[in-house]
Amino acid sequence: MSREAISRRRALGLLGLGAATVTAGATGWAAGWGGQPTIAGLPAGASGQPLAAPTELTSRAGVLAVQLTAAAGVRLVGRDTMAWGFNGTSPGPTLRVRPGDLLRVRLVNRLDQPTNLHTHGLHVSPQGNGDNPFVHVEPGASFDYEIRIPIDHPAGTFWYHPHHHGTAADQLFGGLAGALLVDGGPALAQRERVLLVTDTTLAGDGSVAPVDVMTRVLGREGALVLVNGQHQPVIAAAPGATERWRVINGCTSRVLALRLEGHRLTQAALDGRFLPTPTLRESVVLAPGNRADLLVRPTAPGAYSLVSDAYPRGSVVGGGTMNGGAVTSSRAVLAILNVAGPAMTSPSLPLRLPAPVVPPDPISRERRLTFAMGMNMGGMGAGGMMSFTIDGRTFDTTRDDQTIPFGATEEWTVTNTSPMVHPFHLHVWPVHVVGDSTGTPPLATQQDVVLLPAHGWARVRIAFSDYPGRSVYHCHVLDHEDAGMMATAHVQN
């Protein structure tokens, strides 16, 4: 039976969705938590607690050597939970390195399942004990990663999370993530903060709620949206003092559409790469995996919500007149900016920032890739009823899907034939968007996650320079990646 031959009603039935719009649940668990708000007029469920920074581990004399132990049992939303973390916290420690440093991480697995680690967005070697997504670390075992940051690496905001195929979504949703900052670059603010946004759903006993096959098809979104593991923390700031917020979308599937009440946002960087100039924006959209460095200059005293607006991710069935199967990242208040105290003055922002340039011509090869979702009529088994493919195939760790000569500059047109958006992520080699089906003018910088429009495409230019080796590209809705929407890129000398 062809995909077209399946009636809309039947498709909805198969997906178990009915005609209702699918959105994340209410924040019932957090609402029961009795944090004492310190500011009048906070939204229900707000913690009222000041935003806490994760522990920072900073390199010395060119080396940062850390142990990261993945294990259950962290405090979230001010309570002891059975969620997962690194070194007892979720998010794990913030790792701070500089260009030219050596990052050594001993990953210790105290989970009950295999795991590994990916340094998301770093332009570093994927080979051996580098940023190698094919590593398995068994329960009880450890692995020593050694990641050499090149001397010309961009200064910016990156992050780390497990990348074990089949359980990547469970492990991120479970709490395993942390910020990774490459220091350097122009001074932009009097104060900087990491805002690592994650979402999860906790059961009443403090365990992370399991998700069913249908939820994996949509890409799970947690009922709780957390910033540094806190629910709606308060960011205290003085009027006029510029803050640099390093916002990381560490959610498994949720798209963030950031907006700050009473303010415009000035974006300085995307995915750890500066824009050519600080750019005013009403709203900044971050797909899962994306980061933005935002410069915020608080205005008048008051409390302002940092909001993520509702964002439509498309639907699981295309066309039709009903709203059935629509998938929307729900609106959420992430944090409260509390502006108080004497006014301060900030130096003016630089007009130019050190943005990476577009890889120059010539293009040695153009490729076409296709992300697709299909009805898999084969059965109701473990794989679910939906297939998630790249170029018609699901992930096979042994197969080379793209073989690329080292040093090539290529353009890839990545088409999404499905009615749902998918964030395209390529490890190691950053991409430069040169056009997409929506006609949105591309930001003049490099990025590592590109949100593919539903029934649309994006074209990216990539320089496969500096690092030969084998790595992956995939959908950063990690439920889709786990379902097979991943493939390999082998850059050969």
Task: Single out the residue of 290, 90, 102, 96 nearest to residue 178, CA to CA.
Answer: 90
Interface with ligand C2O includes 427 (CB under 6 A)?
yes
Interface with ligand C2O includes 120 (CB under 6 A)?
yes
What is the closest distance, in whole angstroms, from the C-beta atom of residue 150 to ligand C2O in the complex? 20
What is the closest distance, in whole angstroms, from the C-beta atom of residue 59 to ligand C2O in the complex? 22
Is 491 buried (19+), middle (13-18) or exposed (0-12) by CB count in 10 A? buried
Interface with Cu ion includes 425 (CB under 5 A)?
no
Interface with ligand C2O includes 425 (CB under 6 A)?
yes
Tell me the longest C-alpha to C-alpha distance in the chain. Answer: 69
Which of the listed partners (ligand C2O, Cu ion, none) does 422 bind, with a CB threshold of 5 to 8 Å by partner kind? Cu ion
Q: What are the phi and psi torsion angles at 177 (to 5°)? A: -165, 155
Assigned token pair, 92: 């794990």
Which of the listed partners (Cu ion, ligand C2O, none) does 244 bind, with a CB threshold of 5 to 8 Å by partner kind? none
Nearer to Cu ion, 105 or 475 (CB): 475
Task: Supply the DSSP symbol for 89.
Answer: B
Nearer to Cu ion, 223 or 287 (CB): 287
Which of the listed partners (Cu ion, ligand C2O, none) does 118 bind, with a CB threshold of 5 to 8 Å by partner kind? ligand C2O
**Interacting residues with ligand C2O between 34 and 73 (CB under 6 A):** none
Rounded to the nearest 5 percent, the helix, strand and coil shares of the chain are 5, 45, 50
What is the closest distance, in whole angstroms, from the C-beta atom of residue 477 to Cu ion in the complex? 4
**Interacting residues with ligand C2O between 276 and 295 (CB under 6 A):** 289
**Interacting residues with ligand C2O between 16 and 35 (CB under 6 A):** none
**Window 153-172: contact mask with ligand C2O (x via CB under 6 A):** --------x-x---------
Interface with ligand C2O includes 118 (CB under 6 A)?
yes
Which of the listed partners (Cu ion, ligand C2O, none) does 161 bind, with a CB threshold of 5 to 8 Å by partner kind? ligand C2O
Residues 6 or more apart in contact with residue 453 via CB below 8 angstroms: 416, 421, 436, 437, 438
C-alpha distances in Å from residue 135, one per residue of 127, 142, 405, 433, 484: 10, 11, 24, 30, 17
Residues 6 or more apart in contact with residue 35 via CB below 8 angstroms: 46, 47, 48, 49, 78, 231
**Do residues 252 and 479 touch, judged by C-beta distance below 8 A?**
yes
- The three-state secondary structure class of 486 is strand
What is the closest distance, in whole angstroms, from the C-beta atom of residue 173 to ligand C2O in the complex? 13
Task: Point out which residues bind Cu ion (CB under 5 A).
Answer: 422, 475, 477, 480
Task: Point out which residues bind ligand C2O (CB under 6 A).
Answer: 118, 120, 161, 163, 289, 425, 427, 474, 476
